[in-house]
Structure formats: structure tokens, C-alpha cells
């Protein structure tokens, strides 16, 4: 596959609380880490990708990082932005727009005191739906509780089944020294945690953390000259789902489309995947995306995740072996980049030994951005070890 761009660098910022740093500083430190991982420097970078979490966008960040660019992009599709930008970076390189692309994501919601369930979905802006949503001040958790409640009603999914997603995350996080929550939990622990928005309990909700991460993508000729294992993009998909003028169905996500595109381009299906990084803003988010990606039939996600089936080297599919957003890290309230980073670790055989998936050659990365009950984006990647 000569000429196919490769992921050559990945770095997850170790901090989870950064009261003494700026957001721009977190971006810079993550960028430096990813470039060091690749064996490159900032002077090698001629393409830069960031999103709404980057102060001032690419224009200001390029100045702050002192990058000399030929190409930049500031796509913002929420938590799926960094995942989508991996595909964008590869496309830009193939088009000759740049040779080495840097993708960064960072934020400080923990230091700013943003807590799950209290942040309003809408802000004062000119977005067309704001005037209709602002009076209700719907918190994020209530948005996803609507999705969970509908899934329960349509398919008989249970709170116990949702809890298994958190249980699997805790089994993985116990081996991650940087994870915020490393304590093993049981199904009963999840069910006995406070009910935040029926049917979601506190332990069904993701973390709020500071920190960030970065990814480096390089032209194939540069990638093969480096000492780091290279990971290529085999397939990618991006899709949006909104309220479609009232034709609302809460039982599926935009992953149904983005996943279909990614798997079709890769020439494989879900059965070929040994490891999956699945966006886990809430436990229900994981179940719906697994169904939409084809890992199980629609409505069977609860049964699919139950009884430890997402635990590495125990269940049928290893998911979020770093502990995910539920237990490890959810920087900037946008967990997409950490999903790419852990997939790269798995494919490089550099994950924590206790959770390293044996013979991991293909990985699926899936993220949603926005709010599943109203409007959101979905980005899917199929990554392969070369």
C-alpha cells in the first residue's frame, strides 16, 4: 500500500486536573508528546487540525505552536472531531496539501467546575434551534436518558445490562496508572449509585477531566523512515443525524451510516475486529453504537455487553482497554482523540500487558459528537497495523 499515509505518533496527556495550565498549553504539551513519539519535531509539521476546544482555532494555535503550515482545518463535530480529522489528515496528505499533519485536542472542564448533568446542552448563540431549546435548559445526561429509556421500551434493555459497560471499563482501568477511577466495580455498585436522570445512574456517566492528546499522521515515505510502528487508515466514515423535521427515532445513531461507509471502504465487517474504541459518554452510548456498527443486531446490544463480554481477553470483543471515558479520561468533554490513541496502542502491541489484545491487527474507532437525542455527528475509522 505505497503512498497510504500512516499514523506515526500518538500521545495522551497524563494530567487529569490542570489548574495551573492554560488550554493552549495543554495542546502544546500534547503536540510535543506526539511528535516525540513519532521521532519528529514541530518543524516537520506542515498540516494542522484542531476543533472548537482549541483557543482561537488553527490561526491562533499555529502562531502559539510556531508552526509553518501549508494546510489547516478546524472541523468541529463535537467529540467525534479528532476521529474525523484523522481521515481528513490522510486525505490532505494524499492530495499533496501537506506531508506531516498534527491533530490536537485539549481542555480544562474539570478545573472550570463543569459537572456531569449540570452543563446545559444549549448556549447563547445564533444556532437555529437555540430559541426552542433554551427555555428547557436540558442537561446532557437527560438527553441521553431519553435515548436509554426508549431503548429500554423498544427492546427490553435493562439497567443491569448498561451496568456491564461500566464494569468492563473498571476492569481495564485498574491496570492504567493514569486512570482517574481504578477501582473495580460490580453491577450492583452501578445500580446502587445515585440515579441522575432515569434510567441513568451516576456510574453510567462519563468522567469530566482536564488534559488532552495528539496524533501525528505522515506521508508514507516519511513514515517508513521512522522507527515507530506505523498504523494505516483502511476505512473511514462520517455522518450526521438530526431531528429530520420531526421524524425522530432515538433507537439508532449516525454510526449506522458512518460505520457502514468505513467497513465498506475497508472491505471487512465487524466480525473481523478484535478491538474497538467506542465513545462512552454514557453506558447507553456504547450499546447503541455497537449495534449500529454491526457487532450485534439492533436491540441486542444489552445482551451483547453483559457478563463481561467487553473485557479484554475474556469476552467476545475488547472495548476501551484504557478504561475509556467512564473510568480513564474524557478531556475537554470530547473523548474522541483518546479513542484513537488507545487503538494505536493496541495495534502497536503497546497497550498495558494485562489488557493487550492478542494478535491485534485491526481496530475500529468510533465516536459521536453532539447529543444523541437531538443532533449529533458520528465518525468511524478502521485502522490496521502495517
The pTM (predicted TM-score) of the whole model is 0.95
Start and end residues for every CATH 3.40.47.10 domain found in the chain: 6-111+211-223, 130-207+234-385
For domain 130-207+234-385, is the CATH number 2.40.50.140? Answer: no
**Distance in angstroms (rounded) separating the CA atoms of residues 181 and 160:** 20
Radius of gyration of the chain (CA): 19
What is d(CA 57, CA 62) in angstroms, rounded to the nearest whole number? 8
- C-beta separation of 15 from 22 below 8 A: no
**What is the DSSP pairing of strand 71-73 with strand 47-49?**
parallel
- State the pLDDT at residue 185: 98
pLDDT of residue 128: 80
The rounded distance, in Å, linking the Cα atoms of 85 and 174 is: 30
Ranges of the chain whose pLDDT falls below 70: 1-2, 115-126
Rounded Cα distance between 81 and 83, Å, is 5
- b/e for 351-372, b at 16 or more Cβ within 10 A? bbeebbbeebebbbbbbbbbbb
CATH of domain 6-111+211-223: 3.40.47.10
What pLDDT, on a 0 to 100 scale, did the predictor assign at position 1?
41
Can you tell me which residue has the cell 467546575?
A: 113
Task: State the pLDDT at residue 215.
Answer: 98
For 265-285, write each residue's pLDDT tens digit: 999 999 999 999 999 999 999
Task: For residue 213, list its beta bridge partners.
Answer: 12, 105
Across-strand partners of 156? none
Amino acid at each position: 500500500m505505497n503512498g497510504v499515509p500512516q499514523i506515526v505518533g500518538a500521545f495522551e496527556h497524563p494530567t487529569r486536573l490542570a489548574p495551573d495550565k492554560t488550554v493552549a498549553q495543554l495542546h502544546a504539551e500534547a503536540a510535543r508528546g506526539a511528535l516525540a513519539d513519532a521521532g519528529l519535531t514541530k518543524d516537520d509539521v506542515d498540516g494542522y487540525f484542531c476543533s472548537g476546544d482549541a483557543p482561537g482555532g488553527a490561526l491562533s494555535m499555529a502562531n502559539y505552536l510556531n508552526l509553518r503550515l501549508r494546510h489547516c482545518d478546524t472541523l468541529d463535530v463535537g467529540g467525534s472531531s479528532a476521529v474525523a480529522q484523522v481521515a481528513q489528515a490522510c486525505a490532505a496528505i494524499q492530495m499533496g496539501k501537506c506531508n506531516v499533519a498534527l491533530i490536537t485536542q485539549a481542555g480544562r472542564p474539570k478545573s472550570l467546575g463543569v459537572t456531569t448533568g449540570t452543563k446545559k446542552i444549549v448556549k447563547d448563540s445564533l444556532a437555529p434551534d437555540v430559541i426552542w431549546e433554551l427555555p428547557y435548559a436540558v442537561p446532557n445526561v437527560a438527553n441521553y436518558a431519553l435515548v436509554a429509556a426508549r431503548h429500554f421500551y423498544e427492546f427490553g434493555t435493562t439497567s443491569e445490562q448498561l451496568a456491564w459497560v461500566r464494569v468492563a471499563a473498571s476492569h481495564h482501568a485498574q491496570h492504567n496508572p493514569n486512570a482517574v477511577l481504578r477501582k473495580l466495580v460490580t453491577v450492583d455498585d452501578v445500580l446502587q449509585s445515585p440515579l441522575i436522570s432515569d434510567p441513568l445512574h451516576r456510574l453510567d456517566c462519563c468522567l469530566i477531566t482536564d488534559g488532552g492528546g495528539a496524533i501525528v499522521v505522515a506521508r508514507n515515505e516519511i513514515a517508513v523512515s521512522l522507527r515507530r510502528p506505523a498504523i494505516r487508515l483502511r476505512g473511514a466514515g462520517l455522518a450526521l443525524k438530526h431531528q429530520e423535521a420531526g421524524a425522530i427515532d432515538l433507537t439508532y445513531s449516525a454510526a449506522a451510516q458512518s460505520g457502514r461507509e468505513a467497513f465498506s471502504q475497508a472491505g471487512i465487517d465487524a466480525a473481523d475486529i478484535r478491538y474497538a474504541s467506542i465513545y462512552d459518554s454514557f453506558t447507553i452510548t456504547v450499546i447503541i453504537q455497537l449495534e449500529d456498527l454491526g457487532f450485534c443486531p439492533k436491540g441486542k446490544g444489552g445482551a451483547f455487553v453483559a457478563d463481561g463480554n467487553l473485557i479484554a481477553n475474556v469476552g467476545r470483543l475488547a472495548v476501551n482497554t484504557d478504561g475509556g471515558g467512564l473510568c480513564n479520561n474524557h478531556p475537554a468533554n470530547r473523548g474522541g482523540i483518546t479513542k484513537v490513541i488507545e487503538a494505536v496502542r493496541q495495534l502497536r502491541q503497546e497497550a498495558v500487558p494485562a489488557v493487550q489484545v492478542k494478535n491485534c491487527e485491526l481496530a475500529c474507532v468510533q465516536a459521536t459528537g453532539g447529543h444523541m437525542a437531538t443532533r449529533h455527528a458520528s465518525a468511524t475509522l478502521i485502522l490496521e497495523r502495517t
